Amino acid sequence: AQSVTQLDSQVPVFEEAPVELRCNYSSSVSVYLFWYVQYPNQGLQLLLKYLSGSTLVKGINGFEAEFNKSQTSFHLRKPSVHISDTAEYFCAVRFSGAGSYQLTFGKGTKLSVIP
C-alpha cells in the first residue's frame, strides 16, 4: 500500500517570494504522482503530474515539481507567488501498474500568500 505525507499543514509566504511545498511518499512499487490545487470553496483541479520521463514536471500557473526517486519525494515549487495562489494543495499517488486507478491523497498544505 502507498501513503503520502505532506510535511507542512500551513505555509505562509509573502507575495513575489519563492515557495516550496513538500511531499514524500512511500510505496514498494512504481507510482504516478500528482499535485492538485483547491481554491477556496471550489473543487480540485489538476496542477501537474509525473508519469514518466523527465523528473522535472511543469504545471499550470508557473508551478513545477521534481520527482526524486531516491528520496521518494515530489516537492512543488514556484519561484514567485501571487495573491491568487492562495489555496490548498494536495499531493497524491497512484500505483502505476495496469488496471490501477485509486488515488491516495496527502492531508493537504494550505498556502497563504501575504501581500
Partner 1 sequence: NAGVTQTPKFRVLKTGQSMTLLCAQDMNHEYMYWYRQDPGMGLRLIHYSVGEGTTAKGEVPDGYNVSRLKKQNFLLGLESAAPSQTSVYFCASSSIAGGAKNIQYFGAGTRLSVL
Q: Report the residue from 9, 26, 55, 71 that binds partner 1 according to the rule CB under 8 A.
A: 9
C-alpha cell at 20: 516550496
Stretch of 17-25, 54-62, 72-80, 102-110 contacting partner 1, by CB under 8 A: 102-110
Q: What are phi and psi of 89, to 5 degrees?
A: -120, 130
Q: What's the min distance (Å) between Cβ of 84 and partner 1? A: 18
Task: Quote the CA–CA distance of 95 and 9 in Å, as a whole number.
Answer: 24
Q: What are phi and psi of 43, to 5 degrees?
A: -80, -175
Which residues are bridge partners to 44 per DSSP? 38
* Beta carbon nearer to partner 1, 97 or 115: 97
Q: What's the min distance (Å) between Cβ of 47 and partner 1? A: 12
Report the C-alpha dihedral over residues 73, 14, 11, 26, rounded to 10 degrees. 0
* Beta carbon nearer to partner 1, 86 or 96: 96
Quick one: DSSP state of residue 42?
S
What residues from 11 to 70 belong to the interface with partner 1 (CB under 8 A)? 32, 36, 42-46, 49, 51-52
Residues that bind partner 1 (CB under 8 A): 4, 6, 9, 32, 36, 42-46, 49, 51-52, 90, 94, 96, 98-103, 105-108
